[in-house]
A = this chain, B = another copy of it.
Amino acid sequence: MKIGVDLGGTTIKVGLVDDNYAIVQTAVGDTKRGRPAEEIIKDMADLCLEVMNKQGIDSVETIGIGCPGMASGGIIKRSSNLDFYDVDVRVLMNKYIDAQIFVENDANVAALGEVAAGAAKGKTNAVMVTLGTGVGGGIIANGKIFSGAFGGAGEIGHQIIKFDNGIDCGCGRTGCWEQYASATALIRQAEEALNKKNITAKDVFELAENGNTLAKDVLENYLQFVSMGITNMINILEPEIIIIGGGISAQKEVITEPIKKYVQQQMYGGLQLQTEIKTAELGNDAGIIGAALLKI
């Protein structure tokens, strides 16, 4: 048995994961962000002990933790969402539980979960693209998380796709892909085109489905932005599969069919697209299952 933890800025989700990648016990707590790392990690350890107690076991092989920001080995180097900087999670967790502890970026962890038990099962080279508040990414190379030389790889949302008059990005650059392809961007594009406020991403899909031409145009344009960065990723990394995650991935073929078409149109020299493009299958469980799979 292994434990996977999805340590978010709002919630700590802990799951006990068996050898078939099934989550057999869960426990959830509030992060109450802003507290010292020691307190948050104590709560996380208590939630781990809780799932172990529920299952009637007193030890686990490993505890893997996915969190926003830069993390590798046993250390969270930098997580603005958690307000953690150079936090040695391994040492703090081992005060309460004797198990091997691993931490990793949450997008990388979700990608690992999808490769183990989700949309990319059996694949060894995959890129997960999460369309949410921003555009996140997780790269799996030769079956393992590829986190770069300093633990920060996979920031695929921060590739410039429009260098002149691009939209300002939180990262400090202008014209980053996430400013055009995130769920936030879709909402902004729809609000502008429809001249409405408080639209959700789901609204845009519903309006388009019901024949609203403006919404259809917004969506077509948006999915072209998505396909642009995906084609960049294929040209750079040529994975076996691109997994699309985030809330929008619930739309399944409604997004993957047009994206495949647009990517095919952009393939190098008109070559046949070989990379599969699918939506994620594990939803929020990807974070727990992927975290449970972390190892050296």
**Contact for A232 among B151, B153, B160, CB less than 8 A:** B160
- Closest 4 pairs between A and B when the two form their complex, measured CB to CB: A148-B238, A149-B240, A159-B232, A153-B238
With CB as the reference atom, state the residue of chain B lying closest to A176: B235
* B232-A152 in contact (CB<8A): no
Interface residues of A (CB under 8 A from B): 80, 124-125, 137, 139, 141-142, 146-156, 158-164, 170-173, 225, 228, 231-233, 235-240, 266-270, 274-275
Q: Report how far A269 CA is from B124 CA in the complex, Å.
A: 31
Q: Report how far A175 CA is from B148 CA in the complex, Å.
A: 27
* A150-B235 in contact (CB<8A): no
| Least Cβ–Cβ distance between A76 and chain B, in angstroms | 15
This chain's copy number in the assembly: 2
Which residues of chain B come closer than 8 Å to A269, judged between CB atoms? 80, 170-172
**Contact for A125 among B148, B155, B238, CB less than 8 A:** B148
Q: Report how far A237 CA is from B270 CA in the complex, Å.
A: 26
Q: A153-B237, A153-B238 are in contact. Are A164 and B163 (CB under 8 A)?
A: no
* B155-A268 in contact (CB<8A): yes
* B228-A149 in contact (CB<8A): no
Which residues of chain B come closer than 8 Å to A237, judged between CB atoms? 139, 146, 148, 153, 236
* B137-A125 in contact (CB<8A): no
Which residues of chain B come closer than 8 Å to A225, judged between CB atoms? 163
